[in-house]
Amino acid sequence: MLTRLVAELPEFFSYYNIVFLAKAALATFALSAVGSITGVLAGFALAVTRLTRSIWLAPLRWLTVLLTELFRRIPFLVTLMLVFFAFQLSGFDLPLFAVALIAVFLIASAYLAEIIRAGFESVHRNQWDAAAAMNFSMLETIRYVIVPQAWRIILPPAFGFFILFIKDTALASQIGVIELTYAGKVLNNKGFSAALVFGTLLVLYFLISYPLMRLGARLEASLAQPRHR
């Protein structure tokens, strides 16, 4: 078996295949990065909505809770299929990459809303009272008091979820998005042995994910400061 793998190597790492895999790796990275960044923005909006007190915004608050709870209890594959078929039936002709991106965005905003909410809650209640006593509005309190303290708590798990999404986007291959896993299936169908193709995929995913994981760990270590209460 090993001799066969070695014999395949020069043909497998041809110029065309390397470019194909590199482009696919870029798609995997873009899908998770863009999905996570837009997810952070939406998650922030959701977390802030949950902090509002106005009675008029109560339905909006319930909707936020419903969305965050729902999308954290549906597998990514099922969300992907729902978004895929919803767009197919609505008649909008979106590229598959955009469809997958919307699915990543939905699930990312739900998870990140929870992370950001937990970060907000880590700031002591007295800080809110102090800001209110100084006549800060809610948005001013968040901007000048809460976020400067909460971001240290929010950043490490948010980064962890970004790395999780790099691996989750492998599922986007199921609707035909040409990312790393889909590229692997194409090469396998072309007759390259599965051990070589999927072994290479595992190494490529590792090369994307591991440096980011190390970066996240360093970030966590440098952000962790003794908290005096």
Partner 1 sequence: MTMSYTLQYGQIWPYLPTLAAGALLSLQIAFLAFCGGLLIGTAGAAALTFGGSMIRRVVRAYVTFLTNTPQLVQIYFLYFALPDTGILLSSYAAVLIGMTLNAGAYLTDIQRAGFESVRASEMEAAQVLGFSRMQQIRFVVLPHVARVLFPPLSNQYILMTLGTSMAAIFGVEELTGRAFNINAQTFRSIEVFSVTAGFYVVITLAATTILGLIGRFAFRARMRLV
Q: Which is nearer to partner 1, 52 or 209 (CB)?
A: 209
Dmax (CA) for the chain in angstroms is 75
First to last CA, the chain: 62
Q: Of the candidates 136, 110, 131, 125, which has an alpha carbon nearest to the alpha carbon of residue 44?
A: 110
Q: Which is nearer to partner 1, 80 or 145 (CB)?
A: 80
Per CB under 8 A, the list member of 112, 158, 171, 175 interacting with partner 1 is: 171
181 lies in the site for partner 1, by CB under 8 A: yes
168 lies in the site for partner 1, by CB under 8 A: yes
Per CB under 8 A, the list member of 8, 188, 219, 220 interacting with partner 1 is: 188
Q: Who's near 120: CB < 8 A, 6+ residues apart?
A: 47, 51, 142, 146, 150
Taking contact as CB under 8 A, which single stretch among the options 41-49, 94-102, 135-143, 159-167 is the one that binds partner 1? 159-167
Per CB under 8 A, the list member of 19, 86, 215, 223 interacting with partner 1 is: 86
Number of alpha carbons in the 13 Å side-chain half-sphere of residue 80: 18
Backbone angles phi, psi at 74, to 5 degrees: -115, 130
64 lies in the site for partner 1, by CB under 8 A: no
Q: Which is nearer to partner 1, 125 or 135 (CB)?
A: 125
Taking contact as CB under 8 A, which single stretch among the options 46-54, 77-85, 114-122, 145-153 is the one that binds partner 1? 77-85
Contacts with partner 1 in 98-157 (CB under 8 A)? none
**Rounded Cα distance, 187 and 193, in Å:** 9
Residue owning tokens 């309190």: 141
Q: Which is nearer to partner 1, 98 or 139 (CB)?
A: 98
Q: Does residue 36 sit in helix, strand or coil?
A: helix
Q: CB neighbours (10 Å) of residue 49?
A: 15
CB of 162 to partner 1, least distance (A): 13
DSSP state of 143: I
Contacts with partner 1 in 189-228 (CB under 8 A)? 193-195, 198-199, 201-202, 205-206, 209-210, 213
**Rounded Cα distance, 225 and 46, in Å:** 28
| Binding stretches for partner 1 (CB under 8 A) | 1, 70, 73-79, 81-82, 85-86, 88-91, 163, 166-168, 170-171, 173-174, 181, 184, 188, 193-195, 198-199, 201-202, 205-206, 209-210, 213
